[in-house]
Structure 1
C-alpha cells in the first residue's frame, strides 16, 4: 500500500498525517483541527490521533 504522508505545518508540531486525513486551512495542511486553529494538538512526539500509526 502506497501512502503519502505530510508533516503538520503548525509550528512545533512533529506529527505526520496521511494526505486525505489532513485538515487544510489557507492552503496549509495540519494534523488536527486544534493545530489548524492555532492551539496545537499537544502530542509534541508525532503520536497525534490523526496521524497514521506505523
Structure 2
C-alpha cells in the first residue's frame, strides 16, 4: 500500500499554514512553510502568509 501526502501542516506550533512537502523548508526533521517558521521566528518575523499571525 502506498500513501501520497500532498499537504502537511507547518511544523511551527502557532502557524496555521499548510505546505506541499516538496516546497517546504526542511529543518529539524520537520517541514515548515517559511524560513521564519523554520528558524523559530528568531527575528520576530511572521511567516507573512495571508490569514496567519504566527510569530513563534
Q: TM-score range by the shorter chain?
A: 0.5 to 0.7
Q: Which runs of 4+ in 1 moved over 2 A?
A: 42-46
Which of the pair has more CA radius of gyration? 2
Contiguous gaps of at least 5 residues in structure 1:
47-54
Which of the two has greater strand per residue?
1
Q: Which has the higher contact order (CA 8 A, sep 6+)?
A: 1
Query: What is the TM-score normalised by the length of structure 2?
Result: 0.65
Q: TM-score scaled to structure 1, two decimals?
A: 0.67
Q: CA RMSD in A?
A: 2.2
Q: Which runs of 5+ in 2 are unaligned?
A: none
